[in-house]
Chain A
């Protein structure tokens, strides 16, 4: 009995934690820090439970009598669970200082946070479009609220409004697609859909592909692929730093989880959506994103734009799945990891610095940073290098796998474009490094800040180390996977799919 329920444990732990937080958040006397640590404890607990489950099963339906074929437990989902849990914990811990310095955070924030993660996990496990939609909505709604969590700040409200309107606007497409699938195939279970399409996909081709397209569009919208990206910059800018980081890193992972599952099971074999659509969107996303990123002065906006570009890179790999690229899907997962690490580092430093000041950070604010905060500057530089895909950082290997899979799948132009965009991105990332290192610091702030030993700063440092480590890519330490180790883990996860 326990063994059959085991797959539920991590998810259950998270949701329990969410409710616990909801309950105790009414108590005024509890300090914010304890909320945070409770949340982290729940997350890490779930992580600890989920970790041994990896590599144990592939395609097990949990409690079929209750849930039918909707809730699937396999290594793929477990791996993503681990990412969500670890990422969530990291996000919270790295932002600890920021959260502490703001007055408007309380228990509900963490409850919502856990709800969002719960949604993501169920999303990763969902084998049916309807649960997928519901978990997506769950996540989204939680994040809508988080986005607007800075109640008294107009930007935050506006961000929430836009995200909400456009998000539900896009969500309608998803459910519409689901409806059409249901109408045609009579089922919404992904694997059964795949089977159905295999047999008589051809007579309902138009309806089916429209449906698939609509579902894909919603996901692309959340990923922020051009031309569905318009909300992204404003929302990233308007929402509080922790939430921005959360959206940029963990949420993206979740979205690619469902995207990968859909694509691998439903689209690739059936050829429902030709990869040319995805690669076309990838081109648009790369170019549009780099245009947005290059013309920003605020760092948050720049990172938002660049996150669009990174989405574009993963779309490259997505589009080259099934065209003979033997590592395309693992490449996406590795890229997700590398982007997660680097962007968490970057956003973390931003939020750490923004913790004291209320104004949005621009390039100018970083002039002469290296004199004042040498360590933070070094870490920032490292994450910038990694984001720009500079060699000997994990970002380079991520891009390397992406480009290789593009080339393997014969999409040379796409790979070329990707490399060119990477070149462009060097400009706006190194601009920041130049700001930090090339300028003398202003007179009054010239004294060097001591390196504040704190969990968030330490974690940022850890991120920087991992960035370098992953870039050098060896597996010297047996229990810490290097680049190729991560890739093989990802391959195993992919292999566990039906």
Chain B
């Protein structure tokens, strides 16, 4: 069936963005404007969420394979390259739709409080709505080109929002880095699309047509396409080797980090792979590669996170490693679990960021966790919600993370990829460690060096709009898990069934599953214990200088990856450019031309010097001319006769 609601959902935020942007640029600033911004900036996402719920409700009444199409107009039609601006809501995009709109709305509300005193309030909400629209465009697109447009626009939005505080050049640098690395990914993505289009036989380029025509393409090419598309996912979902932008992206305001760099945009890669499930099901080896990348990224990120002091960077790396989990899932072909983890993660990671943001605001933009501490008593609401989220991400039973993550791990084990499973477990352990390290140091640990909160007891009181979204999200993080309760616990994996994706099937006997889950929980508890031992009952006081050995320092500096990129790519390019500027253009090309000109001029001047004004010389040249020609004539005629 078709409906115009999905298009409306996509267009609303864009509309809001346009209106607010226009007002911000062309209407002289005033106090009352802020209310207008709030109205539009919150209204559009909420409306979108409402409509989203309606659409999804509608859809649940339909058979699982059905989808709600919403064609708008024909974007371009040249030869067999016919792209429509058309949106489709099927089960997969429905999940994304809900996640994006609901979590997005909550973060918008949160942002009102967070950004209230900022000069660029209107600009912020314009950007924010713009992002929301772009994200919805991405998830609701019914053809890869439209998806790609959304894909690039969210990148643009994240560029604008990372660089939101543009007085500080460092932020802009971070923004540039983010966009550049995303563009590198997009380069791969668009190459994949182009190749796919060039190879496909049938006309029409929406997902249905593509998947129908996959049979006509040989597997080698398909693998290439799959890889190229995944390069895009690497960029967007901050996986090895394109992940370096994510930690820097924390330069943006915290709501941005929560919405874009935790809940929605970064998961686009996962969504894309799930969306292309029919493609990836044909090329399991590429899927394995994806899973491998995911596992590696998860491990690396967890290690980094364990050595960071900046609260937001810790969360950023944890996001990266959670994304690694999701990619393991989709790579191994259990898309629904990946998507489920995505949804769950959206909730608790958004919650974590917002809590962190609350802390940061409360401490007047202090981000080093070792300068915090003992906040538990002062910010009880934040503490509780943060604890919930931490438990969720750690994978403690009954919390959402437990079900989503363990589903992934047990499947990995079941499908026989034990190494990946092992890595997953190690990451689970590390996750527990660094998350509780964060939690303990910030909220619990009584002793802390140079605590701001001690000599400055005045904490900024948080506006209510910043607090109650935390509780909503906390509730989500707790109860979301039961939607997808596995059979082992008497559930029916309702979510996965409803999601109706082309999953690979691999089942474990319940006993095995209990053992695995128990093991995971133990590992998590171990991590918590170590964190507790280290930071709450420390053997040595935390304020003693930390001696780090080489690998620790390397980890703290994220393995000097940035420097590597700088040395390998940026500097050579600038070198070549200088070289062109100094050598090739002026010296070689222009130089040779100038040489020719100079030669001609030189000869000319020399020949002009023959005009020495001497009468006899002139007569002589005349005579020479005559004799020369006569000679030629003689020879010519001699030859003739």
A, B: real partners: yes
State the A residues within 8 Å of B (CB). 158, 161-162, 165-166, 169-170, 173, 205-206, 209-210, 213-214, 217, 221, 226-228, 230-231, 233-234, 273-274, 277, 280-281, 288, 290-292, 294-296, 424
Q: Say whether A292 contacts B622, CB under 8 Å.
A: no
Contact of B637 among A161, A205, A233, A290 (CB under 8 A): A205
Q: Is B608 touching A296 in the complex (CB atoms < 8 A)?
A: yes
Max chain B C-beta neighbours (<10 A), residue from A209, A213, A291: A291
Within 8 Å by CB of A295, from B608, B621, B629, B636, lies B608
Query: Which 8 pairs across A and B sit closest by C-beta, in order of nearness?
Result: A227-B625, A291-B604, A230-B618, A295-B608, A291-B607, A295-B604, A295-B605, A294-B604
Contact present for B633 and A205 (CB under 8 Å): no
| Alpha-carbon distance A233/B610, docked complex (angstroms) | 11
CB pair B633–A213 under 8 Å, yes or no, is yes
Chain B contacts with A in 609-641, Cβ cutoff 8 A: 610-611, 613, 615, 617-619, 621-622, 624-626, 628-630, 632-634, 636-637, 640-641
Given contacts A209-B633, A234-B613, A277-B633, contact A292 B607 (CB under 8 A): yes
Q: List 24 A-B contacts (CB under 8 A).
A: A158-B613, A162-B615, A206-B634, A209-B637, A210-B630, A217-B625, A227-B621, A227-B624, A227-B625, A227-B628, A228-B621, A228-B622, A231-B618, A273-B633, A280-B632, A290-B604, A291-B604, A291-B608, A292-B608, A294-B600, A294-B601, A295-B605, A295-B607, A296-B608
Q: Which residues of chain A come closer than 8 Å to B603, judged between CB atoms?
A: 291
Tell me whether A288 and B622 are in contact (CB under 8 A).
no
Contacts of B619 in A (CB 8 A): 165-166, 169
- Inside 8 A of A292's CB, which chain B residues have their CB? 604, 607-608, 611
A273 vs B637: C-alpha distance in the bound complex, in angstroms? 10
**What residues of chain A lie closer than 8 Å to B640, measured between beta carbons?**
205
Determine the residue in chain B with the shortest Cβ distance to A216. B629
Contact residues in B for A217 (Cβ distance below 8 Å): 625-626, 629
User: Which residue of A205, A206, A227 contacts B622 across the interface (Cβ within 8 Å)?
Assistant: A227
In the complex formed, the residue of B with least CB distance to A202 is: B641
Q: How far is the CA of A348 from the CA of B604 in the complex (A)?
A: 27
For B603, B622, B630, B632, the residue with the greatest tally of chain A CB atoms inside 10 Å of its CB is B622
Q: Do A213 and B629 touch across chains, with their CB atoms under 8 A apart? A: yes
A249, chain B: closest CB distance, angstroms: 22
A423 to chain B, nearest CB (A): 11
Contacts of B632 in A (CB 8 A): 277, 280
Roughly how many angstroms separate A231 CA and B621 CA in the complex, as a whole number?
A: 10
With the chains together, A234 CA to B613 CA distance in Å?
Answer: 7
What are the residues of chain B within 8 A of A294 when measuring CB–CB?
Answer: 600-601, 604
Q: How far is the CA of A82 from the CA of B639 in the complex (A)?
A: 44
Q: Smallest CB–CB gap between A163 and chain B, Å?
A: 10
Closest chain B CB from A31 CB (angstroms): 38
Contact of B607 among A170, A173, A288 (CB under 8 A): A288
Q: Which residues of B contact A169 (CB under 8 A)?
A: 619, 622
Q: Which residue from A166, A214, A226 sits with its C-beta under 8 Å from B618?
A: A166
Cross-interface CB contact of B621 among A162, A230, A233, cutoff 8 Å? A230
CB distance from A164 to the nearest CB of B (A): 10
Q: How near does chain A come to B633, taking the closest CB pair, in angstroms?
A: 6
> How far, in whole Å, are A273 and B636 apart by their CA atoms in the complex?
10
Chain B interfacial positions (CB closer than 8 Å to A): 600-601, 603-605, 607-608, 610-611, 613, 615, 617-619, 621-622, 624-626, 628-630, 632-634, 636-637, 640-641
Nearest-CB distance from B600 to chain A (Å)?
A: 8
Alpha-carbon distance between A162 and B619 when the two chains are bound, in angstroms: 10
The answer to whether B610 and A230 have CB atoms under 8 Å apart is yes
Report the minimum CB–CB distance from B484 to chain A (whole Å): 78
Q: 10 other contacts beyond A210-B630, A228-B621, A291-B604, with CB at 8 A cut-off?
A: A162-B615, A165-B615, A166-B615, A166-B618, A166-B619, A205-B640, A221-B622, A230-B617, A277-B633, A295-B601
Taking the closest CB of chain B, its distance from the CB of A306, in whole angstroms, is 13
Please name all residues of chain A whose beta carbon is closer than 8 Å to the beta carbon of B634 when the two chains form the complex. Answer: 206
Bound-complex Cα distance A120 to B553 (A) = 100
Assess whether A166 is in contact with B622, with CB atoms less than 8 Å apart. yes
Chain A-chain B contacts (Cβ-Cβ < 8 Å), number: 77
Contact check, B625 vs A228: say whether CB atoms are below 8 A apart: yes
The listed residue with most B CB atoms (<10 A of its CB), out of A165, A173, A227, A290, is: A227
Is there an interface contact between A274 and B605, defined as CB atoms closer than 8 Å?
A: no
Query: A206 CA to B635 CA in the complex, in Å?
Result: 10
**Residues of A contacting B605 with CB < 8 Å?**
295
In the bound complex, do residue B622 and residue A170 qualify as a contact, i.e. CB atoms below 8 Å apart?
yes
Q: Can you name the residue of chain A whose Cβ is closest to the Cβ of B610?
A: A230
CB contacts (< 8 Å) of B618 on chain A: these are 162, 166, 230-231
Most A Cβ at <10 Å: residue of B607, B610, B636? B607
Measured CB to CB, the nearest residue on chain B to A161 is: B615
B203 to chain A, nearest CB (A): 48
CB distance from A400 to the nearest CB of B (A): 25
Measured CB to CB, the nearest residue on chain B to A208 is B637
* A171 to B292 alpha-carbon distance, docked (Å): 99
Q: Across the interface, do B611 and A234 meet the contact criterion of CB distance under 8 Å? A: yes
- Most B Cβ at <10 Å: residue of A205, A281, A295: A295
Chain A residues whose C-beta falls within 8 Å of the C-beta of B624 in the assembled complex: 227
Contact between A210 and B613, CB atoms less than 8 A apart? no
**Least Cβ–Cβ distance between B206 and chain A, in angstroms:** 53
Which residue in chain A gives the minimum CB-CB distance to B640? A205
Set of chain A residues within 8 Å of B600, measured between Cβ atoms: 294, 424
The chain A residue with its CB closest to the CB of B613 is A234
Minimum CB–CB distance from B602 to chain A (whole Å) comes to 9
Q: Which residues of the other chain, B, contact A277 by a CB distance below 8 angstroms?
A: 629, 632-633
Q: Report Cα–Cα, A227/B632, bound state, in Å.
A: 15
Min CB–CB distance B130 → chain A (angstroms): 49
Give bound CA distance, A274 to B617, whole Å: 29
Shortest distance from the beta carbon of B319 to any chain A beta carbon, whole Å: 62
Which residue of the partner chain A has the closest CB to B607?
A291
Quick check: B626 and A173 within 8 Å, CB to CB?
A: yes
The residue in chain A whose Cβ has the minimal distance to the Cβ of B622 is A228
Instruction: Tell me the bound Cα distance from A355 to B44 in angstroms.
Output: 82
Chain A nearest Cβ from B622, distance in angstroms: 5
CB distance from B285 to the nearest CB of A (A): 62
Out of B601, B604, B611, name the residue touching A230 (CB < 8 Å).
B611
B638 closest partner in A (C-beta)? A206
Residues of B with C-beta under 8 A to A280: 632
Task: Write the nearest CB–CB distance from A486 to chain B, whole angstroms.
Answer: 33
Q: How far is the CB of A169 from chain B (nearest CB, A)?
A: 6
Complex contact B630–A213 (CB within 8 A) = yes
**Nearest A residue to B604 by beta-carbon distance?**
A291
Report A225 CB to chain B, min CB distance, Å. Answer: 9
- A166 to B608: give the CA distance in the assembly, Å: 19
A206 x B637 contact (CB < 8 A): yes
Write out the residue numbers on chain B whose beta carbons fall within 8 Å of the beta carbon of A288. Answer: 607
The docked-state distance in angstroms from the alpha carbon of A455 to that of B622 is 41
CA distance A214 to B630 in the complex (A): 9
Closest to A227 in B: B625
In the assembled complex, the Cα of A213 lies from the Cα of B634 at a distance in Å of 11
| A158 surroundings in chain B (CB, below 8 A) | 613
A230 to B609, CA, bound (A): 11
Residue of B613, B625, B640 contacting most chain A CB atoms (<10 Å)? B625
Residues on B with C-beta less than 8 A from A228 are 621-622, 625
B407 vs chain A, min Cβ distance (A): 77
A291 (CB) vs chain B CBs: closest residue: B604
Bound form: Cα–Cα A280–B637 in Å = 17
Q: A165-B619, A295-B605 are in contact. Are A233 and B625 (CB under 8 A)?
A: no
Query: Chain A residues near B622 (CB, 8 Å)?
Result: 166, 169-170, 221, 227-228, 230
A295 to B625, CA, bound (A): 23
**For B601, what are the chain A residues with a Cβ–Cβ distance below 8 Å?**
294-295
Instruction: Determine if B636 and A274 form an interchain contact, defined as CB atoms under 8 angstroms apart.
Output: yes
List B contacts of A273 (CB < 8 A).
633
- Which B residues touch A281, using CB under 8 A? 629
Q: How far is the CB of A192 from chain B (nearest CB, A)?
A: 23
In the complex, A161→B625 CA distance in Å? 21
Report the minimum CB–CB distance from A282 to chain B (whole Å).
13
CB of A198, distance to nearest CB on chain B (Å): 17
